[in-house]
A and B are shown apart, each in its own frame.
Chain A
Amino acid sequence: MTMFTSKLASITFASPALILVVVPLALLLLFQLYVRNMDGAVRIAGLEYLDKRKCIVGKWQRAARVIIRSILVLGLGILWAGPEYYSTEPLFERSSQILSKKYIVAFDMSPSMNLPADFKGYGGQELKAGDGGLTRYEMARDALFDFLDRFRGERFGLILFSTEPFFARWPTVETETRFSEVLESIRRGSGTQLQAFSSLTNTDKALALARDAFGDEDGAIILISDAEDDLENLGAAVREIRNADIRLYTIGVGISDEIIAALSDQFSRDSGFRIFRVDSKEEMEEAYTLVGDVEASPQFADDKKSYYSDLRWLSTLALIALTVIVVWVSETRLHRSSISGLYSVGHQKKKYGI
C-alpha cells in the first residue's frame, strides 16, 4: 500500500453536521468538570476548606482527566462527520479517481480510410477484405490501442464520423477492452454496418459534437482523418475548439501539405493545436507518441486529476491507538480516586459537595 505520497490538497467531511452526535458526550465531560454536588462521594473532613484555598493539586488532575477523555469524544465526532481527502495523487491503492482528463477520439469512417495505409490519394473501392495489407483505419486504430494503454485511468470517448458524426462511446475510464465492441468489427469488405454508414466526411460537425461533450471541462480531441474538409470550415471549427480551451491534435492520413501549412500558420502560436501528416504505420505511431508526450508533459499532466480517499477507516484506527493512551492515562495516572476524582466514585446516597 502506498501511503502519504500525495501533496495535501484538501480534507473535508462528508457529513459535518453529524459531529453533533457527540454533544451529549461533551456535556457529560463538562458536567464532570464543573458540577460539584454529585451522587456519591468519599467524605474527607476539611477537603472543602483546602479546595477553597486552592491547596488541592488534584483539581488540575481532574481537568486533565476531562481534557484527555475529550480526545475520545472529539475523535468519535470526527468519525461521524466522515473525513475525506481530495488530492491530485492517490493516497491509497483504493483511492478512487473522481476526475480525470477527458480525451475524445474522432475517427473518420469514410470509405477512403479502408484503403491500404501506403495508398496515395483516394479511390481503390475495388479492394476487398484482405487486399493490400493494413488499412489506414487499422493503422490508426492499432496506434490508438497503444495510446489507450499509455493513458489508462483517463476518460476516453469515441466519435465515429463520415456524413454524420455520432458517439460510439461516451467518455469512460473503462478502456481495458479498447472499444473492441465497436472498433474490432470494422474490416475492409466485411460488410459491416460501418460500411453502409460511411460516405462523406463531415469533420467540422464531428468537432462540434466533441466540443459539446466537454461542457465546461477541458481536455483534448484527437482527430484522425484522411479527408480534407473545406479549409475555412475546418479553421472555424478548430478556432471554436481552441476558444473552449480544448486541445486539438489532428492526425491527417495522407492529407496535403497545403492544408497542414495553412492550419499550422493560422495556429502557429497556439500550443493547444497540433497537426501531423502521416503516411505510414511508423509515422502514425510517432504522431501518437508526440501527442502522448505533450499530454504527459507537466503543462497538462496532472491538472485535471483528482482522487478521493475515505479517511474514516484510517481515523478509526488512529482513534483506537489513542484510546489505548487515553484509557491508560485516565485510568491509572489520573485515576478518579486521586483527590480530584473522589467525588465520582462512591455510591453513597447522601450528597457531599467538595
Chain B
Amino acid sequence: MGFDNPWAFLFIFALIPILNAVRRSELRTKDVLQSLKNKLPPRRFFVCRYLFITLFVSSLVIVGSNPYIEPNGTGDFVFLADTSRSMQARHSCAEPTFLDRSKEVMRDVLAGVPEGRFGVVAFDRLAFPITQMTYDHTYLKEAINNALTIGMTFQATRTDLANALTVVARKKQDLPQLYGNVRYVILLSDGYLDDSGWRENLSQATRQMQRANIRVLVVGIGNPTATPIYRTGTDGECHGDVIEIEGEIVSIPLRSDILSFVASETRGEYFEERKVTDLIRFIRSEGLADVPADGVVFGQDQRNYVGRIFLIPATIALLLFLFL
C-alpha cells in the first residue's frame, strides 16, 4: 500500500488536544457526579470514549493520507491485430465481424490483465503501431474501438503476417527504450494469408521473433466453416450481398494450421477465441514479472484508491462516541 500524502500522518498529533479534552471531560463528569452523590460510570465507559475518538481520528488520518494499492507485477505486451479485408467476414450482417470479435478479445485481455502495459500494432499489407506502449487502458480501449478499422492502408486486401512479425521484432531491437521489455505478442488473426509459400516466409519471421526473445500468443479469430464477407458502404453499413470474385463467393476459413505454426515456432501458445480466459490465465502466470526495484510509473488504471474503506471504522467510531 502506498500513500499520496504521507505527510498527512502528522495529523495524528491532533489526538493530543482531543484526548486531553476527553480527559478533562472525564474528570469533570466524575467531579459533578461525586459532588451530587451519584454513582460513577464504570471505568470501561471512559476507556471506550478514548478508544472511539482515537479510532475516529486515526481512520480520518488514513483517509487523508490518500492510501492506494498498486500491483506488484507487470509486463509489456503488444497486440498484433489483423485489419486486412478478410477480418470483415461474418455469416450475416447481424453478426459481429472477425475484427469486432478480435476487439472484444483485446478488451477482455485488458480487463483481465489490468497491471499490464500494452501497445497495439495493426497490420494488413503493412504493419504500424497505432498506440504507444501504455498503462492507460482507458486510452487503449478508445483506440481499439475507434482507430482499428478494416483497410487501414492502401491495398489492404493482402495480409502480410511475416512482415508484421518482422516489424515487431525490429521495433524491439531498434527501440529498446520503448519495446525492450516486450516478451509476448498477442496475435489476433484469422490466419488467412492467401500465400502458398507461407511456411517459408513465416519461418524467417519467426526466427527473427526468436532472436528478439518474443513469444507469440495466437488467438484464432474465425468460424469452423468458411465465412463470407458482406459488402459495406462508405458509412460502414453492412449490405445484404456478399463479395464474389468471378462468380465465386469469397469465403474466409480459419487457418488454425498457420496460426499454430507461428505459435509453436516462437515457443508461444495457440488459443481459441472462446478460450480467452485461458489466454488471460497464461499471461497472468507466465507473462507478468515482479515490478523492478526502481519501480514503475503505473497509470490511474492500475492505482486503486482505498481511502473510502477507512470511512467505515470512522463512522462506527463516531456513532459510538456520540452515543456514549
Contacts and interface: CB of A to CB of B under 8 A. Distances in A.
Secondary structure type dominating chain B contacts: helix
B21 A76 contact: no
A150 B324 CA distance: 60
B64 A332 contact: no
B128 A193 contact: yes
Contact of B64 (A28, A193, A316): A316
**Max count, chain A CB within 10 A of own CB: residue among B64, B126, B151:** B64
A245 interface: no
Interface in B165-216: 167, 171, 174-175, 178-179
Given A25-B319, A197-B126, A346 B24 contact: no
Contacts of B154: 162-164, 197, 199
Given A21-B315, A345-B29, A312 B307 contact: yes
Nearest to B23: A331
B25 A332 contact: yes
A320 B17 contact: no
Given A28-B322, A80-B311, A337-B28, A320 B64 contact: yes
A72 B130 CA distance: 51
B280 interface: no
Contact of B33 (A29, A42, A168, A213): A42
B291 interface: no
A78 B76 CA distance: 40
A79 B322 contact: no
Contacts of B18: 323-324, 327-328
B69 interface: no
Contact of B153 (A29, A42, A177, A197): A197
Contact of B22 (A79, A80, A94, A327): A327
Contact of A320 (B21, B45, B57, B318): B57
A73 B318 contact: yes
A232 interface: no
A174 B134 contact: yes
A320 B60 contact: yes
Interface stretch (A178-186, A256-264, A298-306): A178-186
Interface size class of A (residues with CB under 8 A): 35 or more
A49 interface: no
A162 B5 CA distance: 51
B314 interface: yes
A94 B300 CA distance: 11
A316 B311 CA distance: 10
A332 B132 contact: no
B60 A316 contact: yes
A348 B5 contact: no
Contacts of B307: 312-313, 316
Contacts of A76: 311, 314-315, 318
Contacts of B142: 170
A103 B212 CA distance: 35
A170 B17 contact: no
Contacts, number: 181
Contacts of B134: 172, 174
Contacts of A143: none
B65 interface: yes
Contacts of A123: none
A179 B126 CA distance: 18
A96 interface: yes
B63 A166 contact: no
A24 interface: yes
Contacts of A79: 63, 311, 314
Contacts of A25: 315, 318-319, 322
A177 B132 contact: yes
Contacts of A348: 38-39
Given A24-B319, A25-B319, A197-B153, A346 B64 contact: no
Contact of A347 (B21, B41, B61, B153): B41
Interface string A50-79: 000000000000000000010011001001
Given A94-B4, A164-B153, A170-B130, 18 more contacts: A21-B315, A25-B322, A28-B323, A73-B322, A164-B152, A166-B153, A174-B134, A181-B119, A181-B171, A193-B163, A193-B167, A313-B4, A313-B5, A323-B14, A323-B18, A335-B25, A337-B29, A347-B39
Interface of A: 21-22, 24-25, 28-29, 32, 42, 44, 69, 72-73, 76, 79-80, 82, 94, 96, 160, 162-164, 166-170, 172, 174, 177, 179-182, 184-185, 193, 196-197, 199, 213, 310, 312-314, 316-317, 319-321, 323-324, 327-328, 331-332, 335-337, 345-348
Q: Which 5 A-B pairs have the closest CB atoms?
A: A331-B25, A170-B143, A337-B32, A316-B64, A166-B152
7 contacts: A162-B154, A170-B131, A172-B139, A181-B178, A193-B167, A312-B63, A323-B60
